[in-house]
Amino acid sequence: MSAHPEAGPSAPGRWDQRYREGGDGWELGQPAPPLAAFLRHDPRAPEPGGPVLVPGCGRGHEAALLAELGFSVLGLDFSGEALREARRLHGPDRPGLRWLQADLFDRAALEAAGLGPGSLAGVLEHTCFCAIDPPLRSAYRATVVHLLRPGGWLLGLFWCHGRASGPPWGSDPRELAQLWRQAGLEEELWEPARGSIAGRGDEWLGLWRQPAC
Ligand SMILES: C[S@@+](CC[C@H](N)C(=O)[O-])C[C@H]1O[C@@H](n2cnc3c(N)ncnc32)[C@H](O)[C@@H]1O
């Protein structure tokens, strides 16, 4: 079941509308530079091996980067318009890169797509967390923890702006660290991001792991 009302700023139809009307001010036209630099050059970056999910993948730039680096990637979004764009830019499903239209909070849809408990080696987060309604953050956390296998990783670039309204909803770095700690994930990295684009100087980069049993 979807956790979203059919109206409101976070409803799937509103996201479709934003893509159709070009009201997508978050679009970078490339993978977020701090994530790309980390994945390409940092020795702490996760290695390919096992399926990786990019929730709220939008036009799919991070999913395509991961596929280029040898990861087996599923880009998920509940907006059909977003995935139409992702396929146009990065190609249809192929080995190593697939697209799935589903609500991240719809466990039945995830299961039907092979996303069962412990099915993922990794999750890459970029501007999905700030797009969902803040009351759904604990559900986001539960979904990530449910899907990650032991030793699985969460790599995320989080928008820690302090504005009261959204989307994009801001985060407090201390609260985010606590959110993942409470979920039992082990923090490997949590620091202000380097190389963010102008206007996103308040991003934080984090890497957490599900304990390896
Ligand atoms: C701000 S956009 C970011 C897109 C992409 N990550 C990027 O950085 O360009 C947020 C995306 O999350 C998707 N989204 C929001 N809530 C979702 C949910 N519950 N399940 C799946 N996708 C969701 C929206 O459709 C939208 O494409």
pLDDT at 3 over 90: no
Which residue's CA lies nearest to atom 25 of ligand 1?
A: 79
171 alpha carbon, distance to own chain's centre: 15
SS3 180: helix
SS3 135: helix
Q: Tens digits of per-residue pLDDT, 127-178?
A: 999 999 999 999 999 999 999 999 999 999 999 998 988 889 999 999 999 9
Residue 14 CA, ligand 1 centroid: distance in Å: 11
Helix H or strand E encompassing 187: strand 186-192
pTM of the model as a whole: 0.96
Q: Which ligand 1 atom is nearest residue 15's CA?
A: 25
Residue 91 CA, ligand 1 centroid: distance in Å: 19
Mean pLDDT, residues 19-33: 90
42 alpha carbon, distance to own chain's centre: 19
Q: Is the CB of 207 under 6 A from ligand 1?
A: no
Domains, the chain: 29-40+48-209 (3.40.50.150)
Q: Which ligand 1 atom is nearest residue 26's CA?
A: 1
- 190 DSSP β-pair partners: 206
- Angle formed at CA 94 by CA 89 and CA 100, multiple of 5 degrees: 75
Look at residue 1 in the predicted model and tell me its pLDDT. Answer: 45
- Angle formed at CA 137 by CA 168 and CA 85, multiple of 5 degrees: 50
SS3 97: strand
Q: Tens digits of per-residue pLDDT, 35-71?
A: 999 999 999 999 999 999 999 999 999 999 999 999 9
DSSP state of 103: -
Confidence of residue 213 (pLDDT cuts 50, 70, 90): confident
194 alpha carbon, distance to own chain's centre: 19
Sort strands 120-126 and 203-209 into parallel, antiparallel or unpaired. unpaired
Q: Tens digits of per-residue pLDDT, 70-114?
A: 999 999 999 999 999 999 999 999 999 999 999 999 999 999 999
Supply the DSSP string of 5-43, one letter for each residue: -SSSTTSHHHHHHHHHHT--TT--SSS-HHHHHHHHH-T
Helix H or strand E encompassing 110: helix 107-112
pLDDT at 5 over 80: no
CA-nearest of 159, 125, 166 to 143 is: 125
